[in-house]
Amino acid sequence: MSFDLATAPPRLDQAGSVRPSWRVLVRWETALVFIFVGALFFGASESPHFMTRTDVFFIGLNMGEIAIMALPLTLIVMTGEIDLSVAAMLGLSSTLLGYLYQNHWPIWLAMAAVLVIGAVGGAFNGFLVTKLGLPSIAVTIGTLALFRGIAEIVLGAKSVVNFPTKFTNIGVKPIPHTELSYSAGIFIVLAVVYGVVLHATPAGRSMIAIGLQSEAAFFAGIRVKRIKFVLYTLSGVVCAFAGILWTYRLSSSRYDNGLGLELDVVAIVLFGGVSIFGGRGSIFGVVIAVLVFGSLKEALTLMNISAQAQNIVTGGLLLISVILPNVADSLRRVRARAGLRA
């Protein structure tokens, strides 16, 4: 059995502590950076309006909420779980904000209440996954329908508009002296925070350990359930926050806000090199994936490529990012076996 240690990249280094395989990460992210550069050249060659000052603002505007929701999802996927209810939570939060505002709640109080509801919804996911031990994909498909359903009951087919201009301005004005949308600015700050937590704290290392081998992590004294519970709760809060941003950006609260966005969010996380089986990935990869997605989509829109064709590109990227690592894995195994025979 010695070949296993020698050829298949071991997930434990010599010292025996659990660590992500940096080499692997660097490879994937290097490829992503090249793809991003390629996308920039591609966009610039196809449209004179690509990556102009206004365009940078528009890309930030269009990608902001999706990018923000990708961060907590990254951590959840790192632990080997999934949260498909992110966009439904965005819709629920948007609806509640509108409902409370319509009922004359002070806007700040309404926003705080929405964040609390986000935490409750996220904790509900966490409870079902950790305390009842249900598979997260089933749980969050359930809450996807549940959150969206509650949103539909709260507002029905109505929409709430006329939010204060100082808030809705985030949909038309960049952060002063920059070309960044407010949502993009918030994403950058959050990405730094998430990056530090995941890659430079014991908590982050615990998440990676859980994703690599949940049971081993448990026996190593890591509080697997508690960490997962906290991650789901956090995801609820962040998605509720994204819902607030979405509501102000479109200056409209509707139950179908953000319908179907979960696919984009999951696609970005996987394309960013986060393994769907957990344990592998980085915030940097996800950030680059956001950039690639945003610039490719914008380039295709500027070229007036139909939205259907754009979906093919998105779907293609998602498939590639899931298939390639697996193909690489099996290739490696075949080679290892060949090497043994020789």
Nearer to another protein (CB atom), residue 1 or residue 157: 157
Lookup: tokens for 322: 């899931």
- Residue choice 18, 20, 28, 265 for contact with another protein (CB under 8 A): 28
HEC profile of the chain: CHHHHHCCCCCECCCCCECCCHHHHHHHHHHHHHHHHHHHHHHHHHCCCCCCHHHHHHHHHHHHHHHHHHHHHHHHHHCCCCCCCHHHHHHHHHHHHHHHHHCCCCHHHHHHHHHHHHHHHHHHHHHHHHHCCCCHHHHHHHHHHHHHHHHHHHHCCCCECCCCHHHHHHHCCCCCCCCCCHHHHHHHHHHHHHHHHHHHCHHHHHHHHHHHCHHHHHHCCCCHHHHHHHHHHHHHHHHHHHHHHHHHHCCCECCCCCCCHHHHHHHHHHHCCCCCCCCCCCHHHHHHHHHHHHHHHHHHHHCCCCHHHHHHHHHHHHHHHHHHHHHHHHHHHHHHHHHHHC
172 part of the interface to another protein, by CB under 8 A: yes
Say whether residue 106 binds another protein (CB under 8 A): no
Q: For another protein, which is the closer residue by CB, 200 or 312?
A: 312
- Count residues binding another protein (CB under 8 A): 66
Q: Name the one range near another protein by CB under 8 A: 106-114, 153-161, 182-190, 203-211.
A: 153-161
Closest CB to another protein among residues 38, 164 = 38
**Span near another protein by CB under 8 A; candidates 5-13, 124-132, 138-146, 234-242:** 5-13
Of 58 and 229, nearer to another protein (C-beta) is: 58
Q: Does 295 bind another protein (CB under 8 A)?
A: no
If binding is defined by CB under 8 A, does position 2 make contact with another protein? no
Neighbouring C-beta atoms of residue 148, cutoff 10 Å = 23
Q: Does position 70 bind another protein by CB under 8 A?
A: no
Give Cβ neighbours of residue 40 (< 8 Å, ≥ 6 apart).
51, 295
Q: Please report whether residue 107 would count as binding another protein according to CB under 8 A.
A: no
Minimal distance, residue 27 CB to another protein, in Å: 4
Only one of the segments 107-115, 179-187, 207-215, 306-314 lies at the binding site for another protein (rule: CB under 8 A); that segment is: 306-314
Nearer to another protein, 240 or 261 (CB): 261
Site for another protein in 178-237 (CB under 8 A): none
Cα separation, 150 vs 153, whole angstroms: 5
| Residue range at the interface with another protein (CB under 8 A); choices 70-78, 227-235, 279-287, 318-326 | 318-326
Determine which residue in the list 23, 104, 166, 177 makes contact with another protein, applying CB under 8 A: 23
Pair of tokens at residue 29: 């992210």
46 binds another protein (CB under 8 A): yes
Residues at the interface with another protein (CB under 8 A):
7-9, 23-24, 27-28, 30-31, 34-35, 38-39, 42, 46, 49, 52, 54-55, 58, 61-62, 156-157, 159, 161, 168, 171-172, 246, 249-252, 254, 256-260, 297-298, 300-309, 311, 313, 316-317, 320, 324-325, 327-328, 331-332, 335-336, 339
